[in-house]
Structure 1
């Protein structure tokens, strides 16, 4: 982009009806003022031109551009939901909106009014108060009734909560945009089934297998937005959504979660002064998890070298030795329907 002086010099060079082009002359001052506007106009034109490239967009601007061209919408975060089991006095009423929480303080609200029956217990639907993966808690961790309710003796969640998902990132939305343009969905082709599956909130990626069990059969394998195996709830949401869109019979459609393949890491590490070993190990876990997310449903193996590189990039690490992945010093192969997830990390 030209500077103010460059615009001014161009205009002065093209001025032929006067010889006085010195500073403070009429011609110089008028063209200097115009040059300031030209610089601002050029800046705005350059900014506008950049916005035609989705690689330069983020947030709402990216969402709007992608939607205008393809109709794709950003996948939104979801609230974790599940059942809690409440035991207590027969006839005790638990109103909708009552708050229960884990020992760590993660809160859930009841979604319905319930009454403890003759068995002295009842299952109640609850939803996390915070949106996203914060509500994904292990079983038997929701133990506290924040609101005092006379007649309640105990509360727990018999199963893990696994259906709280984060919002789709700019990079993931941009990737779906390019996939849509480069492999257009049409007439129920595999790209069409992948589109239907991947537009469901909480889904990361999908693989599609046509005629996998004979003519007119379709198998869709999904992972969640965290690049892990999908919950049964998410699998069912995808199945129902595809059935609403696709010209296919129920019996010919199969939707399953990818199988998680644990990646166990072992070895020896040297920690930098000022860091604890546990702190560095957590940093290593984050780096390896990020790498595994990058290769999920994109690579057929986990690279030993890339895992080593992720470890080396971890904050607080000086060096490592005798690194093993799943007990070997080699790459780890992944089957078509497998997704690699971080398993045990034993670093002495």
Structure 2
């Protein structure tokens, strides 16, 4: 808005106000007196422009964006802690119980036992908020001595941890809240309520899916994978704890009989034939090709809630493979042994399978 208010423009305007019979050349008394003031005014206009942009949701960031969206009841989602399944064994691989509140570590990330699921199986909560709690699997080391414990293992993700909501995600949610008002159990209402639950990354709502008054909500986990049964149960309890009762005991309106389901994962096995630069071997490009395919599938999963059906396209996979250094051509790409694009169901997401690279 204030792009024209540069140091040179401000200084020139100030000099223009001085009579021409006075020396205004650089180095003169007048010039040297006005130049510092022009520099300060230019800096002021820069800061005015920044503050102007911070007053609007489309250009605000950080705390300023949070304060803007909060005026409409849209608050930035804080980072949450991952909840994982922990397996505990004594001698001869016999499951043993461990104390609630006992702590365990894996690569400087700590977990605490918060509940028992079954004999030797516990729900662990990461002590650090964010996606860091989702990333590691394998042997755990007890921080405190646990009598009889021979082996502890960090296993499945129950509820994924989430990082603090980004500016872009908050801004998008704010626009949806303003432009798609949630009211009385409409589709926008279900989406907003379910997306606010920890561990939920996206949701599709199917109204009247099994007759009048029925609603089906299919969710994807916040790590963009298939949600655990525990997460699905947690969301069901929050929305309609007595399944299909319509009693309004959860967040669902009275008369809405709600079923919560998780997305179904479809493993995608990719085979492709590439032409490589001189001196490049298939082994050198195998890993990078797997990485670009994995990134493409992740992007599809992240957009699942916004699409009726996901389509895995040969052209886009091959375009991604062509970005790998050393690959100069690609052809004959198949998904699960079939040529052509692969269309998934409304409640299906693609999961990374095997990648066979022929050269």
Q: TM-score higher than 0.5 here?
A: yes
**Using a 3 Å threshold, how does the CA distance of structure 1 residues 7 and 227 change in structure 2: closer, same or farther?**
same
Contact 1:66–1:177, Cα closer than 8 Å, also in 2 = yes
The Cα shift of 1:40 comes to: 0.8
CA distance in 1, matches of 2:334, 2:87: 41
Q: Which residue number corresponds to residue 67 of structure 2?
A: 64
Q: Which SS does the other structure have where 1:287 is aligned?
A: helix
Contact 2:97–2:120, Cα closer than 8 Å, also in 1 = no
**Using a 3 Å threshold, how does the CA distance of structure 1 residues 58 and 310 change in structure 2: closer, same or farther?**
farther
The TM-score with structure 2 as length reference comes to 0.78
**Structure 1: segments with no counterpart, 5+ residues:** none
- How do residues 111-260 of structure 1 correspond to structure 2 at under 5 angstroms? 111=114, 122-136=120-134, 141-142=138-139, 147-155=144-152, 160-167=156-163, 168-243=165-240, 244-248=250-254, 252-260=257-265
CA distance in 1, matches of 2:168, 2:327: 29
Q: Which SS does the other structure have where 2:234 is aligned?
A: helix
The Cα shift of 1:316 comes to: 5.6
CA distance in 2, matches of 1:315, 1:58: 36
**Structure 2: segments with no counterpart, 5+ residues:** 241-249
**Using a 3 Å threshold, how does the CA distance of structure 1 residues 154 and 19 change in structure 2: closer, same or farther?**
closer
Pick the aligned partner of 2:39 from 36, 40, 46: 36
CA RMSD of aligned residues (A): 3.7
**Using a 3 Å threshold, how does the CA distance of structure 1 residues 288 and 67 change in structure 2: closer, same or farther?**
same
Q: Which residue number corresponds to residue 345 of structure 2?
A: 335
Q: Are residue 266 (structure 1) and residue 271 (structure 2) matched?
A: yes
Q: Which SS does the other structure have where 1:84 is aligned?
A: strand
Contact 1:230–1:258, Cα closer than 8 Å, also in 2 = yes
Q: Which SS does the other structure have where 1:160 is aligned?
A: strand
The Cα shift of 1:173 comes to: 2.6
The Cα shift of 1:155 comes to: 4.7
**Using a 3 Å threshold, how does the CA distance of structure 1 residues 112 and 286 change in structure 2: closer, same or farther?**
closer
Listed one character per residue, the Cα deviations across residues 173-215 of structure 1 (whole Å, up to 9, x for unaligned) are: 3322222222121232110111001111221111112222223
The TM-score with structure 1 as length reference comes to 0.80
Listed one character per residue, the Cα deviations across residues 288-340 of structure 1 (whole Å, up to 9, x for unaligned) are: 23432353233322222222222223456444332112333322212222222
Q: Which residue number corresponds to residue 7 of structure 1?
A: 10
Listed one character per residue, the Cα deviations across residues 110-165 of structure 1 (whole Å, up to 9, x for unaligned) are: 3369xx9xxxx6444433455445544899x44765654343355557x6334233
Q: Which SS does the other structure have where 1:79 is aligned?
A: strand
Listed one character per residue, the Cα deviations across residues 246-269 of structure 1 (whole Å, up to 9, x for unaligned) are: 3235x7111111222222211134
Q: Which residue number corresponds to residue 292 of structure 1?
A: 300
Q: Which SS does the other structure have where 1:276 is aligned?
A: helix
Q: Which SS does the other structure have where 1:226 is aligned?
A: coil
CA distance in 2, matches of 1:232, 1:307: 31
The Cα shift of 1:43 comes to: 0.2
CA distance in 1, matches of 2:221, 2:120: 30
Would you say how many aligned residue pairs link Structure 1 and Structure 2?
338
The Cα shift of 1:93 comes to: 7.8
**Using a 3 Å threshold, how does the CA distance of structure 1 residues 129 and 294 change in structure 2: closer, same or farther?**
closer
CA distance in 2, matches of 1:278, 1:106: 31
Contact 1:86–1:124, Cα closer than 8 Å, also in 2 = no
**Using a 3 Å threshold, how does the CA distance of structure 1 residues 124 and 210 change in structure 2: closer, same or farther?**
closer
